[in-house]
């Protein structure tokens, strides 16, 4: 059971992230090469890029793939000197065709793990088979509760007292797969979708870095 003070913005992260995890991770020899998928603002992407630049995360981002021509993530990639490639899903006849292009691009950039940082597309077996158990996703709820779209609105409609966010290994079923890290966020009496999502996003940034640090610290499988 998770206990939290619902009259505050206190949060609980499981497993806990210690400073030693992030700082120690940056000292490991071989950086983890992660390919990022983003559709929107790219705030999670920038958090990762910034942590890498500051030497807090033992990883590198060879390339960002985005599917929305208006995605603000592109400007963030330029800021950090990271190549960005548009693969517009509207130009593809199927989800599998898009994922085939993604796989080819990531393989060209020698990507080891894939991070869906606000990727608003359902992935297929094509991508998951190319990177078996090496595709991670972040979702704004405490999975398995409130999978799918509008998770924050689902939580408010259900009148739960606690919600949060989850980083997990992606499986074919939407928002399923082994959980790497979660953060619990109390729902306040006067919360709106905007205020609650804002507090959840703060925790998303923390657990995304924590999950990547855990992965980067593991021996090769």
Q: Which of 93, 94, 104 is nearest to 127 (CA)?
A: 104
* Active-site position among 139, 168, 197, 205: 139
Our answer to whether residue 205 is catalytic in this structure is: no
**Distance separating alpha carbons of residues 173 and 14, to the nearest angstrom:** 23
* 104 φ, ψ (degrees, to nearest 5): -60, -45
Give the β-pairing of 162-169 and 32-38: unpaired
- Integer angstrom CA distances of residue 110 from 29, 33, 62, 131: 17, 7, 8, 12
CA angle (111, 129, 135) in 5-degree steps: 50
Contact 74, 93 (CB under 8 A): no
Which residues are the active-site residues?
Answer: 139
């Amino acid at each position: 059971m998770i206990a939290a003070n619902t009259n505050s913005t206190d949060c609980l992260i499981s497993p806990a992230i210690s400073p030693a995890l992030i700082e120690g991770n940056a000292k490991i020899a071989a950086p983890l090469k992660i390919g990022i998928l983003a559709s929107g603002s790219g705030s999670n992407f920038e958090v990762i890029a910034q942590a890498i630049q500051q030497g807090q995360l033992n990883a590198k981002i060879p390339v960002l793939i985005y599917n929305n021509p208006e995605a603000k993530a592109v400007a963030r990639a330029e800021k950090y000197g990271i190549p960005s490639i548009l693969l517009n899903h509207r130009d593809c006849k199927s989800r599998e065709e898009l994922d085939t292009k993604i796989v080819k691009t990531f393989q060209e950039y020698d990507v080891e793990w894939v991070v869906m940082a606000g990727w608003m597309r359902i992935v297929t077996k094509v991508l998951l088979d190319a990177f078996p158990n090496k595709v991670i996703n972040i979702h704004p709820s405490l999975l398995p509760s409130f999978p799918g779209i509008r998770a924050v609105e689902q939580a408010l409609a259900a009148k739960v007292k606690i919600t949060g966010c989850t980083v997990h290994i992606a499986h074919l079923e939407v928002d399923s797969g082994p959980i790497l890290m979660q953060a619990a966020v109390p729902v306040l009496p006067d919360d709106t979708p905007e205020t609650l999502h804002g507090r959840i996003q703060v925790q998303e940034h923390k657990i995304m870095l924590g999950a990547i640090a855990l992965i980067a610290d593991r021996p090769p499988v």
